[in-house]
Amino acid sequence: MAGAGDHGADSVERRGLMFVLSSPSGAGKTTLSRLLIERVAGLRMSVSVTTRAMRPGEREGHDYYFVDQSRFQRMAHDGELLEWATVFDNGYGTPRVAVEAALASGQDVLFDIDWQGTQQLREKAGKDVVSVFILPPSAQDLEKRLHTRAQDSDDVIRGRMSRAAHEMSHWAEYDYIVVNHQVEQAFAEIQSILKAERLKRERRTGLTAFVRELQKQLER
C-alpha cells in the first residue's frame, strides 16, 4: 500500500497536511523552519506570492512568486489564495493550487505565517491545518535575541517587543505551544508533533483498504 504519502514512518497512503509555525519576531521560527525543511523528508516550504520587488539573490518560484498589484488583487478576489495580507503596502499570499496538489499527493507543506494568516488557513482548510506557536522562554531572552541579530535599531526592537505582546495574545488559538529554550530541543518537540499528526487516522486515506486486505488474509 505504499504510495505518494509514504515518508518512511508509515506504509499506508495518507493526505498531506498544512504545518503552520508562528511566533513573535526573534523567537526562533525562521531557524526552526529551516531545520524542518533540511531534516524532515516529505515536507516542503510554502512559496508565497508577493507584490514587492525582487531583492538581490532571490529567485522566482523559490523565494516568492512576484506579481504586480492588479494580478494580486485578482488572485485574492477569485479565491486563488488560501490566505493573504497587506504588509507595508505590499501584498503577500499563499497560492491555493500548488498547496492542494501537494496535500493530495501526500506531501506536507510548511507555513511561516502570523496568527491572521493561520486563521484564514483554518477557515478554508479546516482539519488539514496543524498549527504550532513558538514562545521565547522570557521577555529578556527575546530582547537579547533581537539585539544579537544586529539587524534593527533600538527603536525598531522596541516596536518588535511591543508587537510581540499582541502576537502572543493569540497563543490559545493554536493546536500546540512550544517554548524555545534551546533550538535542538524545540526542533525535537516540533518534529514529534509532525510525526504524530501524520499518523492520525483521518489523514490516512489508504487505511480502509489496508485493513480490509489484512482481514482477507486472516480469513483465508
HSE toward the beta carbon, residue 6, CA cutoff 13 A = 9
Closest CA to 35 of 46, 43, 25, 23: 43
**C-beta atoms surrounding 213 within 10 Å:** 11
Q: Can you tell me whether residue 18 is helix, strand or coil? A: strand
Sole residue written with cell 498549527: 131
pLDDT at 29: 92
d(CA 200, CA 97): 24
Q: What is the DSSP letter of 152?
A: S
Reported as a pLDDT band with limits 50, 70 and 90, residue 206 is: very high
Domains by residue range for the chain, with CATH: 18-45+109-219 (3.40.50.300)
Per-residue pLDDT tens digits for 163-174: 888 899 999 999
Q: State the pTM of this model.
A: 0.85
Question: CA nearest 36: which of 24, 19, 15, 48?
Answer: 19
